[in-house]
């Protein structure tokens, strides 16, 4: 990529896209084209086609997606598979039609089977059933990988797919129904601390910034306590100076998870976009077209895991967040709720061989995340998920 190349970042206001945009700017790139969801609905094929025909971007980062945690994935199954398929199909096809030089498709490590070997190598894709709770989203992302591979093989395009592990960082989604586990725990434990300290100013400020089911800081105390209790943030002795509180978390706390700071994910993406091409991922030094691969080896699993290769249990993460936030109340694990996949550790050996490794460990990242959460109250919020253009 040249510093003045026109770069389109689909999803530039979300957790992933905003981190990529920031990294590119810090690297000296200057020519960006972006659209919000209101300006461009990526599920609308004609709108996407018109956008590409007009703007003619040189490079594309496809970071827009319908995303969420275990509750959202399992509840809105139709929306998750439909919207993600539409977004990626429209963007990837329009990129080909308009001769985009290179495209990066971003997915997730939830594409791997529920019982995948640990750590999960790229070649375990499609070897056994997926985790049921996020199967629609995972199927859409697998389709995106195959779409990129297929266009590369048939049309000679240069599209690469990356599968980040669980991400967290600036502009994350803290919606208690739809967010991922780490930001949800940070917010719940923060609110638990505020409730225990009887700090209603902080609670109201939090709800004004991020209302829960329409309940904001202007609501009465009873309404606020009711909505907090619905999401497991409970006060056993209301109105007391130092009430006893508990924060309920889903599952047993035993599942192991890997987490990567979003700005490091962005650094890996920009690194790969600058230095790695599809040919580098298949070991072929020849022009890419369909006839080149007749009677040759099958081309599969060209995607790249992006992660740390390290994991922490949900219970250990909760205790780390509790210590970071300074919460003194109870943490309760509701074992009637699902755990999801028990382990999801990525094999990052391919990424390391390509020349990139992470630097920020989980303790430092959680502190950064909580600091950002507190500081974000002073600035307008950005969207962290959904079809953001």
pLDDT of 359? 97
Q: What is the pLDDT of residue 70?
A: 76
Distance separating alpha carbons of residues 192 and 330, to the nearest angstrom: 9
pLDDT of 161 over the 80 cut = yes
**What pLDDT is stored for residue 387 in this prediction?**
38
Residues with a catalytic annotation lie at: 137
Contact status, residue 316 vs residue 366, Cβ threshold 8 Å? no
| 8 A C-beta contact, residue 212 and residue 205 | no
Give yes or no for residue 378 having a pLDDT over 60. no
Please give the pLDDT value at position 237: 58
pLDDT of the residue at 338: 83
Residues forming a β-bridge with 10: 62
Concatenating the DSSP letter of every residue in 223-274 gives: HHHHHHHHTTEEESSTT-SS--EEEEEES-S--EE-EEEHHHHHHHHHHHHH
153-180 mean pLDDT: 92
Give the model confidence (pLDDT) of 218-251 as tens digits. 999 999 999 999 999 998 755 555 558 999 999 9
Q: Is 100 a residue whose pLDDT tops 90?
A: yes
pLDDT digits (tens, 9 = 90+) for 318-366: 999 999 999 999 999 999 988 877 888 999 999 999 999 999 999 999 9
Which pLDDT belongs to residue 388? Answer: 39
Distance CA 159, CA 92 (A): 9
Residue-range domains of the chain with CATH: 7-172+258-311+344-374 (3.40.50.720)
The pLDDT assigned to 238 comes to 52
Reply yes or no on whether the pLDDT at 382 is more than 70: no
Q: At what angle do helices 200-209 and 181-196 cross, to 10 degrees?
A: 150
- Report d(CA 42, CA 36) in Å as an integer: 10
Average pLDDT over the chain, rounded to an integer:
91
pLDDT recorded at residue 187:
97
CB atoms closer than 10 angstroms to residue 33: 18
Say how far apart CA 53 and CA 264 lie, in whole Å: 32
CB neighbours of residue 274 within 10 Å: 11
Q: Are strands 245-250 and 233-235 parallel, antiparallel or unpaired?
A: antiparallel
The per-residue pLDDT for range 31-78, each reduced to its tens digit, is: 999 999 999 999 999 999 999 999 999 999 999 999 877 778 888 899
> How do the residues of the chain divide into helix, strand and coil, expressed in percent and rounded to 5?
45, 15, 40
Burial 98-128 (b: 16+ CB within 10 A, else e): bebebbbbbbbbbbbbbebebbbbbebbeee
Residue in the structure block whose two tokens are 């995106």:
144
Cβ count within 10 A of residue 180? 24
Distance CA 192, CA 349 (A): 39
**81 torsion bin: left (phi>0), alpha (psi -120 to 50), beta (else):** alpha
Both tokens of 343, joined, read: 């382990």
φ and ψ at residue 161, rounded to 5 degrees = -115, 135
How does residue 373 score in pLDDT terms, banded at 50, 70 and 90? very high
Provide the 10 A C-beta neighbour count for residue 42: 27
The tokens of 329 are what? 């109340």
pLDDT reported for residue 67: 84
């Amino acid at each position: 990529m040249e510093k003045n190349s026109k770069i389109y970042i689909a999803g530039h206001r979300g957790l992933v896209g905003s981190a990529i945009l920031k990294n590119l700017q810090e690297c000296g790139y200057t020519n960006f084209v972006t659209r919000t969801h209101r300006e461009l609905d990526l599920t609308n094929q004609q709108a996407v086609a018109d956008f590409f025909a007009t703007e003619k971007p040189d490079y594309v980062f496809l970071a827009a997606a319908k995303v969420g945690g275990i509750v959202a994935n399992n509840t809105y199954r139709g929306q998750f598979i439909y919207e993600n398929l539409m977004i990626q199909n429209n963007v990837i096809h329009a990129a080909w039609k308009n001769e985009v030089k290179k495209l990066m498709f971003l997915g997730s490590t939830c594409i791997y089977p529920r019982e995948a070997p640990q750590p999960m190598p790229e070649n375990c894709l499609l070897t056994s059933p997926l985790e049921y709770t996020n199967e629609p989203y995972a199927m859409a992302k697998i389709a995106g990988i195959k779409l990129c591979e297929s266009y590369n093989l048939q049309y000679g395009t240069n599209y690469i797919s990356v599968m980040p592990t669980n991400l967290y960082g600036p502009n994350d989604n803290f919606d208690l129904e739809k967010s991922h586990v780490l930001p949800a725990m940070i917010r719940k434990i923060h609110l638990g601390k505020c409730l225990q300290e009887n700090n209603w100013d902080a609670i109201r400020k939090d709800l004004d910034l991020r209302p829960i089911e329409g309940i904001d800081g202007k609501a009465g105390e009873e309404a606020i306590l009711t909505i907090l209790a619905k999401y497991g943030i409970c006060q056993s002795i209301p109105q007391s100076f130092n009430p006893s509180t508990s924060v309920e978390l889903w599952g047993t706390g035993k599942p192991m998870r890997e987490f990567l700071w979003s700005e490091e994910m962005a650094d890996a993406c920009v690194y790969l976009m600058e230095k790695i091409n599809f040919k580098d991922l298949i070991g072929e030094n020849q022009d890419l077209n369909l006839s080149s691969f007749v009677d040759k080896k099958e081309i599969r699993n060209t995607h790249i895991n992006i992660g740390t290769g390290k994991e922490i249990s949900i219970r250990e993460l909760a205790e780390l967040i509790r210590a970071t936030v300074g919460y003194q109340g109870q943490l309760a694990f509701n074992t009637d709720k699902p755990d999801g996949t028990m382990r999801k550790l990525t094999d990052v050996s391919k990424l390391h061989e390509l020349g990139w490794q992470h630097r920020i460990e989980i303790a430092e990242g959680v502190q950064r995340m909580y600091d950002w959460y507190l500081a974000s109250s002073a600035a307008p919020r950005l969207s962290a998920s959904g079809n953001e253009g």
